[in-house]
Structure 1
Amino acid sequence: MARENPGPLVVSLPLGAPQPGEGLQRWLYGALREAILSSRLPAGSQLPSTRALAEHYGMARGTAQAAYQQLQSEGYLDTGSGYGTRVCRVLPDATLNAGYVRRRVLPAAEQQRDAPDTLWAQRLQAEKPIFMGSGAQPGLRPFFPHRGDVLAFPIDLWRKLHTAHLRPSRLLDMLDADPAGLPALRSAIAQYLAIARGVRVGAERIVILGSVQQALDLTLRLVVAPGERVWMEDPGYPGARQLMKASGVALVDVPVDRQGLQVEMAMGMAADARLAYVTPSHQAPLGGELSPARRLALLRWASEQGSYIFEDDYDSEYRFVAKPIPALRSLAGGDASVILAGTFSKLLFPSLRLAYVVLPPQLVEGFTRLVSLTARHANSLGQAVLADFIEQGHFDRHLRRMRKLYAARAEAFAEAAERHWQGLIEVPPIRAGLDVVCRLHGIDEGEAQARLAEVGIDVLPLQHYCVKTQAPGLVMGFAAYTEAAIDEAARAVARLLRRL
């Protein structure tokens, strides 16, 4: 016969305090009974022994025993040899067993309270983060963008490296870490950036964070005063724009074309801007590259104005048709004005939540203090494992393998579009990244998104990334899906859009 599953063990049982003049036994009996009736003590849960309860509340053990005995006699507790004292699974009141729970009636003033009305609360109410409400597991259904294939990650290797850091001899490594990050990881990132991104910088100029979004948040706090102007790409990454609006800066939406941010136009709109946010290596979401002339113009502007450039190194690692473009930070003048941010969450797996920022020398101390004040430090165990993953060559091998995999899937996506979407969706050449902006022919993008979701296809409308209205388009991901899944989903898209 299967053994009945025991209820939870109640280790701590806060019960409040007796009313003035109320006897301890009567108070303990009433408090325990109320905890049972309100489901704070669920059916089957094991209570502390009368000795432990008496010691905790500073009463005689006999007082606790008397309260337990009264509750047992009324059918609320069950005591037996070998399993202690537990809440009965069937309570004496039939209405309780039907799910009815008696609760203390709160005064009207306590029953309802308005949400906070601070400036931040108002801005957050107006700016719902775009990726909230995308589903409990966004990215599992084609063609949700901004997702890699976590199923291709070498999890057994990662587990081995992780386990190595959990040995008893390394327990001291689990104490608080340097707010700037583990020296081993910062050094590994410095070496990687020198090779892959052309950025030569000492490890002391690198700070480890949880995300690029956190890096932008701290940058806005540190270098931009409320009301000062900030350049933002249009279309651009919505998480960055929404964070800027919530932070209270004066947002200047600068148009983007095939050569990236239109720097001359930006200077005409707000030459005195304090910060420029750019994705120069792979523009989000259009996918272009900031031209060499505009890169130089942007750096010259920052130098002359004493302003900063936030370089979001978005998807720079995944280029399929040419060598990676050096980071803006690597050019002359970048050392003093460019804040370069990159993340490992897309390169490895999203829940890793580790990123880095490369800082001008004058910002390192302030940034480190901000990290210590707001987050203390990023996950140090994850940092240690990631440092090993990079130093032992696994990171480079993983990137090469994923680059080939995603290039094959980009090709499969383009071929599926050619077979199934003629006259419906135009797909440009895919040169890099995890997703692509596809243009719609004669179809409303909002309606297309809603109807596709009904048949199991997830996309994002291009307008979610824009301030100025663009031609209808959908941002569609391909990297997380097998070639067979891509073709099957492409057929489903064609069937639905032809009906629209």
Structure 2
Amino acid sequence: MASTSQPSWVMSLPLGEPAVGTSLQTWLYQSLREAILSGRLPAGSKLPGTRALAGHYAIARGTVQAAYQQLLSEAYVEARAGSATRVCEVLPEATLQAGYVQRKVVPDVALSRTAPATGWIERLEAITPIFARRTVTPGLRPFFPHRGDVGAFPVDLWRKLHIQQLRSSRAATLLDSDPQGLPVLREAIAGYLAVARGVQVSAGQVLVLNSVQQGLDLCLRLLVPPGGQVWLEDPGYPGARQLIEVAGYTPVHVPVDEQGMRVQEGMRRAPKAALAYLTPSRQAPLGSELSPARRMALLRWAAGSGAYIFEDDYDSEYRFIAKPIPALRSMDAASQSVILAGTFSKLLFPSIRLAYLVLPPHLLECFTRAAALTARHANSLSQAVLAAFIQQGHFDRHVRRMRKLYALRAEALSEAAARHWPGLIEVPPIRAGLDVACRLLLDDEAQACARIAEAGVDVMPLARYCHQPLPAGMVLGFAPYDEASIFEAAQAVEKVLRQ
């Protein structure tokens, strides 16, 4: 009975066919009334226009008007001059007794069924997640670490580039794209790495992903045998440690000192490890750099044992006292053992969710296939916008501007610490990054951090990064906070710690 012309209002309200012997007016009235009683048309919802409904079901408009008038007279619907016909907020008592529910609310139900024992689930339950589900607040409180200042990002420029990519002539960006990443973005990343990180690679060796965490997951799946050993810095990035543990691999915690990971200790503990995860350009969280001698020792070990090195280059661009040191990958032209990972979430803004791996040629095909199988591809539109942002020089200007801004805020934190924290917190010279690991000159780290939180200041206990305990400490972020906020928070910390 319905016509082939299907207005959008009518498509969401199928009424079925009239029973034999039932007039069209009665059928329409009863069908609409049933839709109201069942909650398909909830209180306040708008009914289709009489012309659209009549045209869709190929019936006279007067029939529709008569059915609407009957619903109106019985207080199922209401009509106001110049407005659409809507379902009444309050219905007659008889309608309520017939089972009408004004707004259907489906409560949470505790099911008796439990999740299967796969190993993953049990291990997930045993950890405190680094990427916790939490309510996102508009701003962060000092001194929450690992964040940049998104308020300083050129949003208007980004919007302009976004609009350019949405032109009809560029509609291809709205389709599925190459699982390896848009060629134009891979070219831009390769060019950036050559200048900023000393890494000479072709665009064909770049794999665009959603996050460094996704890249590490692919490395574990493809390069490490079940239960295999993986070197980790201790202290180190908790997200990497948790992923390795939950996936069922064996973490080998290698100590870190002022020269970075103690490579000889890693070789002593696990000479046959399949993978080494580390942050050589700026160790997370201590901030040290892997020394040249240890870099060479690490590369020799990987080449001799057949292991791979996962180089997490997460925020090394923000170096304040000198030019950023070259990536470890720049020294690995011969053995092809290093997989370089970088992210734009730290350099631009977290929700961009774009990162990359630089892969040895012999790994490119299997990694691309695995990425396509597990996640298809990263957001094509965001990739196109980022490529334009880099190619037009905006990325380089933004990083240079933020490097200067973060250097000023690092200096402000050092000044605030010298003024307010003698005998409480020892802040080392800040040479790079978004945060700094500090020594706590008090015995109870957990109690001190709890008292600081009660004062409205956020810090991260150093113990969160450690496998083996270290002297009390905490990690403080400075990058997202202006100088006034830094000094105000420093005073609040002093007040609670001196009580």
Give the TM-score, by structure 1 length: 0.86
Q: CA deviation at 1:174?
A: 2.1
Counterpart of 2:488, as a letter, is E
Contact in 1 for aligned 2:42/2:102 (Cα 8 Å): no
Per the TM alignment, residue 432 of structure 1 is displaced from its structure 2 partner at its CA by: 0.7
Pairing 1:314-353 to 2, within 5 Å after superposition: 314-332=314-332, 336-353=336-353
Which of 36, 39, 42 matches 1:33?
Answer: 36
Q: Shift of the alpha carbon at 1:26?
A: 10
Q: CA deviation at 1:47?
A: 2.9
Once the two structures are superposed, the pairs formed by residues 182-331 of structure 1 within 5 Å of their partners are 182-331=182-331
Quote the offset at 1:281 in angstroms: 0.4
Q: Secondary structure at the match of 2:89?
A: coil
CA separation of 1:273 and 1:105: change in aligned 2, threshold 3 A: closer
Structure 2 equivalent of residue 438 of structure 1: 438
In structure 1, the partner of 2:4 is none
Q: How big is each residue's C-alpha offset from its partner over 1:276-330, in whole Å with a ceiling of 9 and x where there is no partner? A: 1000000111111111111111111111111111100021101111221111111
Deviations 1:369-403 (A, max 9, x none): 12211222111111112111111212111111111
Measured in 1, the distance between the counterparts of 2:127 and 2:59 equals 54
- Give CA-to-partner distance per residue, 1:205-261, whole Å, 9 cap, x none: 001111111111122122123211111111111111111122121122222111111
Alignment gaps of 5+ in structure 2: 1-7, 19-25
Q: Secondary structure at the match of 1:287?
A: coil
- The SS at the match of 1:341 is strand
Residues 301, 170 of structure 1: CA spacing in aligned structure 2 closer, same or farther, 3 A cutoff?
A: same
Aligned residues of 1:425 and 1:438 also touching (Cα < 8 A): yes
**Contact 1:283/1:314, CA 8 A, preserved across alignment:** no
Q: Distance in 2 between matches of 1:177 and 1:282?
A: 34
1:317-351 CA distance string (max 9 Å, x none): 01111221111111135661111000111111111
2:478 counterpart residue number: 478
| Number of the residue aligned with 2:427 | 427
Query: Which stretch of structure 1 is more off in the superposition, 121-130 or 231-240?
Result: 121-130
The aligned amino acid for 1:175 is: L
Using a 3 Å threshold, how does the CA distance of structure 1 residues 131 and 334 change in structure 2: closer, same or farther? farther
C-alpha distance in structure 2 between counterparts of 1:480 and 1:131, whole Å: 19
Structure-2 residue corresponding to 1:372: 372
Q: What corresponds to 2:468 in structure 1?
A: 468
Displacement of 1:202 after TM fit? 0.5
Is 1:281–1:313's contact at 8 Å kept on the other side of the alignment? yes
Question: Is the Cα–Cα contact under 8 Å of residues 303 and 333 in structure 1 kept in the other structure?
Answer: no
Corresponding letter in the other structure for 1:192: Y
Partner-residue secondary structure (3-state), 1:357: strand
Q: Which runs of structure 2 are paired with 1:78-117 in the superposition (5 Å)?
A: 78-79=78-79, 82-93=82-93, 112-117=111-116
Assess, with a 3 A threshold, how the Cα gap between structure 1 residues 68 and 254 changes in structure 2: closer, same or farther: farther
**How much does 1:10 deviate?**
8.5
1:329–1:335 Cα contact (<8 Å) kept: no
Aligned-partner SS, 2:85: strand
**1:473 shift after superposition:** 1.2
User: Does structure 2 conserve the Cα–Cα contact (< 8 Å) formed by 1:11 and 1:48?
Assistant: no
Judge which range, 311-320 or 438-447, deviates more.
Answer: 438-447
Q: Secondary structure at the match of 1:336?
A: coil
* Superposition map of 1:159-178 within 5 A: 159-178=159-178
Aligned residue-pair number: 481
CA RMSD of aligned residues (A): 3.4
